[in-house]
Amino acid sequence: MNGLMIVGTASDVGKTMICTALCRLFSNEGVQVAPFKSQNMSGFSETLADGREISRSQFQQAEAARTEPIVEMNPILMKPGEDMKANVLFMGVPLERVDGQYFRKEWFDKGLETIQQALDYLSDHYDMLIIEGAGSTAEVNLMDRELTNMRVAELADVPVLLVADISKGGAFASIIGTLQLLSEERRRRIKGIIINKFYGDASYFEDGVQFIEDYTGIPVVGVIPILENHGIPEEDMDQETLPAMEGIDVYEQWAIHVRKHINWPLIQTMLE
């Protein structure tokens, strides 16, 4: 398949927003692009014209990509409920309410099949997929039956970018630790690293970029500063988002900001 996957060193590193920017950037290049997230745990969804539901994040990414949102973009949606259980939706249709262990045990094979079918459909109908992972890509206790990160990259056979959040500290350890916990085969699939949520002048981080590249052998393809007023509701909707200026295309504004701070030509060559 033709596509690119974005995974993270942890939750809330900015995977959703980076995928949103990439959807718009490739759309601006005339590419018919589709967002994809195999399994999303979110209490925020959008109802499509046919009555089925997908995560609000993939709905917004489809808007950024200038394409109609469809259930294949988010084949598994888990809506958190009470008692550590979630309402499971497959292809936008509610099935049952389960806890995490039951889902891992009883729904893994069906989930894998559904994800592959959705990937195949999107690959047949779009030029490119922008695939979003979930949480950390190196949760060793979940790797054997995960349906959200490197297994999906393998199903789609796409290159991967690893995102780390530098705003809270610990970005160096999280990047290097994540790579160390991946198998050699999966580590080879990671073609670039993005440092996200940088405060201040990114030029002051050049020594940090050099260290990461020297230590890992993987290029840093972007150091993206914080943009407070982007106006796009983020994955965790409890977080307050400052509104953009009136009349602004929020997706275009965000995509322009991201493009200024990434090596866009290098990312494009990863897809050749």
Burial of 131 (0-12, 13-18, 19+ CB in 10 A): buried
Task: End-to-end CA distance of the chain: give it in Å, rounded.
Answer: 11
Spatial separation of the C-alpha atoms in residues 183 and 158, rounded to whole Å: 16
Reduced 3-state DSSP string for 116-161: HHHHHHHHHHCCEEEEEEEEECCCCCCHHHCCCCHHHHHHHCCCEE
Query: pTM for this structure?
Result: 0.94
Exposure string for 42-58, b = 16+ CB within 10 A, e = fewer: beebbebeeebbbbbbb
C-alpha distances in angstroms, 21 versus 152, 165, 179, 244? 21, 16, 24, 15
The shares of helix, strand and coil residues in the chain, as percent rounded to the nearest 5, are: 40, 25, 35
Residue 102 is predicted with a pLDDT of 77
For residue 24 the two structure tokens come to 């718009």
For residue 66 the two structure tokens come to 């200038």
Q: Where are the alpha helices (DSSP H) in the chain?
A: 15-28, 56-64, 100-106, 108-125, 150-156, 171-181, 184-189, 206-216, 250-260, 264-269
Q: Is the C-alpha dihedral spanning 8, 14, 19, 21 positive or negative?
A: negative
Residue 236 is predicted with a pLDDT of 55
Could you tell me if 3 and 131 are in contact, meaning their C-beta atoms sit under 8 angstroms apart? yes
Residue 164 is predicted with a pLDDT of 98
CATH of 3-269, one of 3.90.226.10, 3.60.15.10, 3.40.50.300, 3.65.10.10: 3.40.50.300
Domain ranges, ordered by start, for the chain: 3-269
Spatial separation of the C-alpha atoms in residues 38 and 123, rounded to whole Å: 14
Taking only the tens of pLDDT, the chain with its 272 residues reads 899 999 999 999 999 999 999 999 999 999 999 999 999 988 889 999 999 999 999 999 999 999 999 999 999 999 887 777 888 899 999 887 878 787 888 889 999 999 999 999 999 999 999 999 999 999 999 889 999 999 999 999 999 999 999 999 999 999 999 999 999 999 999 999 999 999 988 888 999 999 999 999 999 999 999 998 888 987 654 555 555 556 688 999 999 999 999 999 999 999 98
